[in-house]
């Protein structure tokens, strides 16, 4: 038997993958992002098994450092200034003095919150990261200029992802435009902390107004100030980076919201609240950025000859700027993701996207996007296609006679509007055009009756390469109201009655009672669906998993195993239910048992 010391380095590195903290299996949709690696905290202990194994081999100890420090998190993920500690800043200083050998292997750095001293020590650490390629920015303050100076000296650095303070940081990061080929910018508007951090990370949006805001008040920019900052800051960056920019992600959600701040005497933004989207003006930010860029570029829109991945969210898609970008990148674009705020008919892409492999589109109820989607399914060699919010009545055109993605497509997700559910004929049409699909996700099958579930499964028979199927067919026909309440109303089985009336005895909460009833229902019908899925698996030789959203609150996961010798199929099933789990605290003690009734909308 070979000794560990005698094994070659590639084998030792392979061993570490089994002992290092397991990275979660990336979902299929992470294909858009090329930097998905697990990040470790700078002070996270090495797993005991990995440490013990390293003691047996000097070569393995040397191999562990680059393996564990490829991605690193520095900073405290807190939501108030008082939670930031000087102790962390001091430990970061020690890391800068003693951790140079490990820091030299860091490729992806995630930055969270720091005190002022912590930022200064962070910069010293970054100077030692000679392999650094990307920064994920989560800090509660603008990007410090001293950090820009350090990054300018690193030979491999080329990627910036802003999850916070992107707009506020644009003037600071402009000197990096000559290096950055990968930019992700979120238009989130926020107030910085701690207060003394602005001396080394100055605010850049409306500094004169915000300088007079009291320290204990919410000191964020207004929406209009944010829109202006985006145009003024992003336009010169794009012009400076145009020759080498390959990845561009822009999210303007906050810029389309009706929001002001206390300093200007109006209401605060409430996330996900209804009725706040005011896109008549805010949705035009993409066009305005490129108009400003044209002013800096000799009255011509900048060209991006190396652009491969483009994600544009919460802007008007029907604009000249996007049309020009898509036309000029038609021969280079491989990934495209669009989330618009239009209330109009969207045109086809201006030129065939001949290299496009990934297309994600989130549709609004009022948008007609048949021409746009059809122009992509007809000319692009897609491997991943996501249509979120599509009307089932439009699928016939999108997967029509000109559809040419059947040979290349491997992942397909179709989530229909609840008011326009998938019917059996729609599923058959999709299957006919996409026979090479390996992973299929169908949402809004609520138009089908329980008696036709067998027909839905039978319609998938031509998909011989299918490995994973996710769907949301209910156990019975839903009531007439098109939006089933998340109260178990759609999971009545033959055994159980209407879940609108919930009897809670013995001190149970409603959530616990709901969970118990759902599990009881699953046990009651499991033999029926075991036979049904066994027949389904027999027709799909590669099928590994079925994920069944049998209600909005219950996911039933069936995993299948095949015996290599006998060919026998075994299965394992488990439920994920979004109610109180067994063993969790039951909440406040109930003095009396009782019967609770939830009245569904529309009844």
Is 481 within the bounds of a domain? no
Number of structural domains in the chain: 3
Write the DSSP string, 258-280. Answer: ----GGGTSPPP-TT-TT-B-HH
353 vs 338: CA distance, rounded Å = 14
Tokens for 594, please give them. Answer: 């009782």
492 vs 256, which has greater pLDDT? 256
383 vs 387: CA distance, rounded Å = 13
549 backbone dihedrals φ, ψ, rounded to 5°: -85, 85
What band does 562 get if pLDDT is binned at 50, 70 and 90?
confident
Is 205 within the bounds of a domain? yes
323 vs 351: CA distance, rounded Å = 9
Q: Has residue 494 got a pLDDT over 90?
A: no
225 vs 260: CA distance, rounded Å = 10
| 205, 307: one domain | yes
Residue 270: its pLDDT value, please?
Answer: 29
| 131, 86: one domain | yes
| 336, 358: one domain | no
pTM: 0.83
| 246, 350: one domain | no
Coil, helix or strand for 493?
coil
Q: What share of the chain is helix, strand, coil (3-state, %, to 5)?
A: 35, 20, 45
What band does 169 get if pLDDT is binned at 50, 70 and 90?
very high
Query: Cis bond leading into 194, ω under 30°?
Result: yes
262 vs 251: CA distance, rounded Å = 24
Q: What are the Cα distances from residue 210, in Å, to 191, 206, 219, 462, 558?
A: 10, 6, 6, 62, 55
| 143, 57: one domain | yes
| 282, 354: one domain | no
172 vs 204: CA distance, rounded Å = 9
Question: Which helix (H) or strand (E) covers residue 162, if one does?
Answer: strand 159-162
Q: Has residue 485 got a pLDDT over 50?
A: no
Is 489 within the bounds of a domain? no
167 vs 480, which has greater pLDDT? 167
Residue 235: its pLDDT value, please?
Answer: 97
- Averaged pLDDT of the chain: 80
Residues 321-349: pLDDT tens digits?
Answer: 999 999 999 999 999 999 988 878 889 99
Q: Has residue 56 got a pLDDT over 80?
A: no
- The sign of the dihedral angle between the CA atoms of 443, 447, 450, 453 is negative
187 vs 230: CA distance, rounded Å = 8
**Residues linked to residue 470 through DSSP beta bridges, in sequence order:** 441, 547
Last residue of a domain, one of 321, 341, 361: 341
Tokens for 49, please give them. Answer: 């098994």
Burial class (CB in 10 A: 0-12, 13-18, 19+), 1: exposed
Tokens for 160, please give them. Answer: 């910036």
| 130, 241: one domain | yes
| 388, 323: one domain | no
**Residues linked to residue 368 through DSSP beta bridges, in sequence order:** 345
Nearest to 374 by CA among 346, 350, 402: 402
Q: Tokens 């039951």 correspond to what residue?
A: 586
| 187, 309: one domain | yes
Report the helix count and the strand count for the chain, using DSSP H and E.
Answer: 18, 19
27 vs 141: CA distance, rounded Å = 31
217 vs 224: CA distance, rounded Å = 19
Query: Mean pLDDT over residues 203-213, rounded?
Result: 90
Note down the domain range covering 81: 4-23+30-341
Is 525 within the bounds of a domain? yes
Q: What is the CATH number of the domain that holds 135?
A: 3.80.10
162 vs 24, which has greater pLDDT? 162
- The sign of the dihedral angle between the CA atoms of 169, 174, 175, 180 is positive
| 336, 374: one domain | no
Last residue of a domain, one of 473, 488, 520: 473
3-state secondary structure 200-239: CCCCCCCHHHHCCCCCCCCCCCCHHHHHHHHHHHHHHHHH
- Are the CB atoms for 387 and 413 separated by under 8 Å? yes
End-to-end CA distance of the chain: 72
151 vs 172: CA distance, rounded Å = 12
Query: Mean pLDDT over residues 391-414, rounded?
Result: 92
Tokens for 329, please give them. Answer: 């990148």
Alpha helix positions (H), 358-439: 370-379, 395-398, 424-433
Query: Cis bond leading into 134, ω under 30°?
Result: no
- Highest-confidence range of 177-181, 272-276, 390-394, by mean pLDDT? 177-181
Tokens for 281, please give them. Answer: 């003006």
Q: How many CB atoms lie within 10 A of CB 574?
A: 10
523 vs 528: CA distance, rounded Å = 10
- The sign of the dihedral angle between the CA atoms of 335, 39, 412, 435 is positive
Is 445 within the bounds of a domain? yes
Residues 271-305: pLDDT tens digits?
Answer: 333 334 444 566 899 999 999 999 999 999 999 99
**Residues linked to residue 340 through DSSP beta bridges, in sequence order:** 315
Last residue of a domain, one of 473, 488, 519: 473
Query: Which stretch of 67-71, 197-201, 444-448, 481-485 has the lowest confidence by average pLDDT?
Result: 481-485
Tokens for 365, please give them. Answer: 């109820």
| 267, 367: one domain | no
Burial class (CB in 10 A: 0-12, 13-18, 19+), 55: exposed
Q: Has residue 585 got a pLDDT over 70?
A: no
What band does 404 get if pLDDT is binned at 50, 70 and 90?
very high
Q: What are the Cα distances from residue 200, in Å, to 114, 118, 134, 223, 415?
A: 12, 11, 22, 25, 46
Coil, helix or strand for 52?
helix
CA angle (434 as vertex; 428, 438 as ends), nearest 5? 110
Nearest to 178 by CA among 236, 104, 233, 128: 236
Is 282 within the bounds of a domain? yes
| 433, 524: one domain | no
């Amino acid at each position: 038997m070979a000794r560990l010391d005698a094994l070659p380095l590639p084998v030792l590195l392979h061993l570490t993958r089994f002992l290092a903290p397991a990275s979660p299996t990336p979902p299929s949709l992470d294909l858009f992002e090329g930097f998905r690696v697990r990040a470790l905290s700078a002070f996270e202990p090495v797993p005991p098994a990995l440490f013990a194994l390293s003691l047996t081999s000097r070569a393995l100890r040397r191999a562990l450092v680059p393996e564990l420090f490829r991605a690193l998190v520095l900073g405290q993920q807190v939501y108030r200034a008082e939670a930031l500690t000087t102790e962390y800043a001091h430990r970061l200083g020690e890391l800068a003095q003693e951790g140079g050998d490990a820091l030299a292997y860091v490729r992806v750095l995630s930055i969270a919150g720091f005190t002022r001293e912590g930022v200064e020590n962070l910069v010293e650490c970054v100077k030692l990261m000679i392999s650094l390629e990307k920064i994920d920015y989560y800090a509660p303050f603008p990007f410090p200029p001293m950090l820009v100076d350090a990054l300018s000296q690193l030979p491999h650095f080329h990627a910036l992802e802003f999850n916070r303070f992107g707009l506020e940081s644009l003037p600071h990061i402009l000197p990096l435009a000559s290096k950055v080929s990968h930019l992700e910018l979120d238009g989130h508007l926020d107030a910085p902390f701690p207060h003394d951090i602005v001396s080394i990370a100055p605010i850049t949006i409306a500094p004169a107004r915000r300088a007079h805001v009291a320290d204990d008040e919410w000191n964020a920019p207004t929406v209009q100030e944010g829109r202006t900052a985006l145009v003024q800051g992003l336009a010169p960056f794009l012009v400076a980076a145009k020759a080498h920019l390959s990845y561009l992600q822009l999210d303007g959600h906050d810029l389309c919201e009706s929001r002001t701040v206390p300093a200007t005497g109006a209401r605060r933004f409430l996330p996900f609240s209804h009725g706040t989207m005011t896109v008549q003006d805010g949705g035009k930010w993409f066009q305005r950025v490129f108009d400003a860029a044209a002013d800096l570029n000799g009255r011509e829109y900048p060209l991006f000859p190396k652009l491969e991945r483009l994600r544009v969210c919460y802007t008007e898609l029907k604009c000249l700027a996007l049309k020009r970008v898509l036309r000029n990148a038609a021969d280079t674009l491989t990934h495209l993701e669009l989330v618009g705020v239009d209330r109009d008919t969207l045109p086809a892409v201006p030129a065939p996207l001949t290299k496009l492999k990934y297309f994600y589109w989130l549709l609004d109820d009022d948008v007609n996007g048949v021409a746009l989607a059809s122009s992509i399914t007809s000319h692009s060699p897609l491997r991943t296609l996501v249509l979120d919010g599509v009307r089932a009545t439009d699928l016939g055109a999108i997967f029509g006679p000109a559809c040419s993605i059947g040979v290349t497509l491997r992942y397909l997700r179709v989530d229909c509007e609840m008011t326009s559910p998938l019917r059996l004929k729609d599923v058959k049409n999709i299957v006919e055009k996409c026979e090479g699909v390996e992973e299929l996700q169908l949402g809004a099958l609520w138009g089908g009756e329980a008696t036709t579930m067998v027909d839905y499964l039978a319609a998938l028979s031509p998909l011989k390469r299918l490995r994973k199927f996710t769907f949301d067919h209910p156990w019975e026909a839903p009531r007439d109201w098109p939006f089933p309440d998340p109260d178990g109303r759609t999971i009545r089985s033959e055994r159980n009655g209407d879940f609108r009336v919930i009897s809670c005895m013995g001190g149970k909460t409603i959530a616990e009672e709901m969970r118990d009833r759902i599990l009881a229902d699953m046990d009651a019908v499991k033999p029926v669906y075991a036979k049904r899925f066994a027949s389904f698996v027999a027709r799909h030789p590669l099928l590994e998993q079925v994920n069944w959203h049998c209600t909005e609150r219950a996911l039933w996961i069936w995993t299948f195993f095949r015996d290599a010798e006998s060919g026998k199929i075994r299965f394992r099933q488990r439920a994920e239910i979004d109610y109180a789990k067994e063993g969790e605290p039951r909440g406040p003690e109930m003095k009396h048992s009782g019967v609770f009734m939830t009245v569904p909308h529309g009844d």
